[in-house]
Structure 1
Amino acid sequence: MEMSRREEAPLNTLMMIKLIATPSNALVDEPVSIRATGLPPSQIVTIKATVKDENDNVFQSQAFYKTNEAGEVDLEKTPALGGDYVGVHPMGLFFSLKPKKAFHRLMKKDVMNSPFCICLDLYDSVNWLETVRIPSKASQRVQRWFVGPGVKREQIQEGRVRGALFLPPGKGPFPGIIDLFGVIGGLVEFRASLLASHGFAVLALAYFAYKDLPEKLQEVDLEYFEEAANFLLSHPKIQQPGIGVISTSKGAEIGLAMACYLKQVIATVCINGATTTTAVPLRYQDLVVTPIQQALERMEVHVSGAVCFRHTTQYLQNKNILPVEKAQGKILFIVGENDELLDSKLHAQRAMDRLRRHGRSSGRMLAYPGAGHLIEPPYSPLCFASWQPVLGRPMCFGGDLMAHAAAQEHSWREIQKFFRKHLLQSGSKL
Structure 2
Amino acid sequence: MVEVTVTPRSSLADRPVQVQVRGLSPSQLITLRASLTDEHGECFQARAFFRADEAGEVDPGRHAALGGSYTGVWPMGLFWFLQPDTPAPRPQPLASCEAERWYVGPGMQRVPIREGRVRGALFLPPGPGPFPGVIDLFGGAGGLIEFRAGLLASRGFAVLALAFFAYDDLPRTLTQLDLEYFEEAAELLLRHPKVRGPGLGVVGVSKGAEVALAMASFLPQVVATVWINGTAFLHGNPLVYKDLRIPPIPYYTERVIFTELGALDNSAIFADPRDPAYSTSAIPAEKIRGKVLFVVGEADRSFNSKLFAELAMARMPPENCRLLSYPGAGHLIEPPGSPLCSISSIRGTPRPVVWGGEAQAHAKAQEHSWQEIVQFLELHLGPAATMKL
Whether TM-score is above 0.5 comes out as: yes
Find the partner of 1:332 among 268, 278, 293. 293
Contact 1:248–1:270 (8 Å) recurs in 2: yes
SS of equivalent residue, structure 1 residue 388: coil
1:55 shift after superposition = 1.0
The verdict on how the C-alpha distance between 1:163 and 1:132 changes in structure 2, with shifts beyond 3 A counting, is closer
Contact 1:311–1:343 (8 Å) recurs in 2: no
One-letter amino acid matched to 1:221 = D
* 1:419 paired residue number: 377
1: CA distance between counterparts of 2:90 and 2:234? 53
What do residues 339-396 of structure 1 show as CA deviations (whole Å, max 9, x unaligned)? 01111011111111222xxx45311111011100110011210001001241110101
2: CA distance between counterparts of 1:91 and 1:169? 28
One-letter amino acid matched to 2:24 = L
* 2:77 paired residue number: 92
* 2:332 paired residue number: 374
After superposition, where does 1:299-314 map in structure 2 within 5 Å? Answer: 299-313=256-270
1:68 shift after superposition = 1.2
* 2:360 paired residue number: 402
1:41 shift after superposition = 1.5
1:172 shift after superposition = 1.2
Q: TM-score, normalised by structure 1?
A: 0.86
Contact 2:263–2:351 (8 Å) recurs in 1: yes
The reply to whether residue 388 of structure 1 matches residue 349 of structure 2 is no
The reply to whether residue 236 of structure 1 matches residue 193 of structure 2 is yes
* 1:127 paired residue number: none
Contact 1:76–1:88 (8 Å) recurs in 2: yes
Identity of aligned residues (%): 53
SS of equivalent residue, structure 1 residue 310: coil
What is the aligned residue count? 382
Provide structure 1 residue ranges, at least 5 long, that are not aligned to the other structure: 1-15, 102-129
1: CA distance between counterparts of 2:88 and 2:182? 52
One-letter amino acid matched to 1:189 = E
Contact 2:301–2:355 (8 Å) recurs in 1: yes
1: CA distance between counterparts of 2:169 and 2:178? 15
1:408 shift after superposition = 0.5
* 2:222 paired residue number: 265
What do residues 216-268 of structure 1 show as CA deviations (whole Å, max 9, x unaligned)? 11111110000000001111111111110000110110111100111111110
Find the partner of 2:121 among 161, 164, 167. 164
The reply to whether residue 321 of structure 1 matches residue 306 of structure 2 is no
The verdict on how the C-alpha distance between 1:314 and 1:361 changes in structure 2, with shifts beyond 3 A counting, is farther
2: CA distance between counterparts of 1:325 and 1:284? 17
Contact 1:95–1:405 (8 Å) recurs in 2: yes
2: CA distance between counterparts of 1:322 and 1:221? 14
Contact 2:142–2:347 (8 Å) recurs in 1: no
Q: TM-score, normalised by structure 2?
A: 0.95
The verdict on how the C-alpha distance between 1:314 and 1:68 changes in structure 2, with shifts beyond 3 A counting, is farther
**Greater Cα offset, 40-49 or 173-182:** 40-49
Contact 2:110–2:123 (8 Å) recurs in 1: yes
Contact 1:338–1:373 (8 Å) recurs in 2: yes
SS of equivalent residue, structure 1 residue 239: strand
* 2:304 paired residue number: 343
One-letter amino acid matched to 1:45 = I
SS of equivalent residue, structure 2 residue 159: strand
Contact 1:266–1:330 (8 Å) recurs in 2: yes
* 2:13 paired residue number: 28
What do residues 56-92 of structure 1 show as CA deviations (whole Å, max 9, x unaligned)? 0111111100111221111111100000100000101
2: CA distance between counterparts of 1:361 and 1:377? 26
The reply to whether residue 353 of structure 1 matches residue 314 of structure 2 is yes
The verdict on how the C-alpha distance between 1:67 and 1:313 changes in structure 2, with shifts beyond 3 A counting, is same
After superposition, where does 1:44-83 map in structure 2 within 5 Å? Answer: 44-83=29-68
2: CA distance between counterparts of 1:255 and 1:150? 29
Contact 2:297–2:327 (8 Å) recurs in 1: yes
Contact 1:321–1:350 (8 Å) recurs in 2: no
* 1:193 paired residue number: 150
SS of equivalent residue, structure 2 residue 99: strand
Contact 1:196–1:202 (8 Å) recurs in 2: yes
One-letter amino acid matched to 1:180 = L
1: CA distance between counterparts of 2:88 and 2:194? 55
What do residues 168-191 of structure 1 show as CA deviations (whole Å, max 9, x unaligned)? 111111110000001111111111
* 1:298 paired residue number: 255
Contact 1:80–1:87 (8 Å) recurs in 2: yes
* 1:215 paired residue number: 172
The reply to whether residue 227 of structure 1 matches residue 188 of structure 2 is no
1:215 shift after superposition = 1.0
One-letter amino acid matched to 2:125 = P
Contact 1:80–1:88 (8 Å) recurs in 2: yes
SS of equivalent residue, structure 1 residue 393: coil
1:304 shift after superposition = 2.6
* 2:4 paired residue number: 19
Q: CA RMSD in A?
A: 1.6
Contact 2:236–2:249 (8 Å) recurs in 1: yes
1: CA distance between counterparts of 2:266 and 2:282? 19
1: CA distance between counterparts of 2:376 and 2:347? 34
SS of equivalent residue, structure 2 residue 120: strand
1: CA distance between counterparts of 2:371 and 2:73? 21
2: CA distance between counterparts of 1:335 and 1:132? 40
The verdict on how the C-alpha distance between 1:20 and 1:422 changes in structure 2, with shifts beyond 3 A counting, is same
